[in-house]
Amino acid sequence: MNAVKIVAIALIVAGSLALMYGGFTYTKKTDQVKLGPIELSIKDRETVNIPVWAGVAAIVAGAALLFVRK
């Protein structure tokens, strides 16, 4: 299996996941105040939305790499 096929399959899988889930959420820790031994911090939940066109484009690009021969 050469590198082009691996990249093509990775693009197809990533595009499919983007279409199924539509985005992902992660937690970002922000230090607000450090006053001696006391530390106040805030955990923010950030959401990243992946557009539908990006998922479709990844699938199309992966299929093109997989099926188009040189």
For residue 12, name the pLDDT band (cuts at 50, 70, 90). very high
Domain boundaries of the chain, sorted by first residue:
3-67
Name the helix (H) or strand (E) containing 36: none
User: What is the model's pTM?
Assistant: 0.71
Query: Could you count the other beta carbons within 10 Å of the beta carbon of residue 60?
Result: 13
Look at residue 28 in the predicted model and tell me its pLDDT. Answer: 87
Mean pLDDT (the chain, rounded) = 89
Note the pLDDT tens digit of each residue in 16-47.
999 999 888 999 887 777 778 887 888 889 99
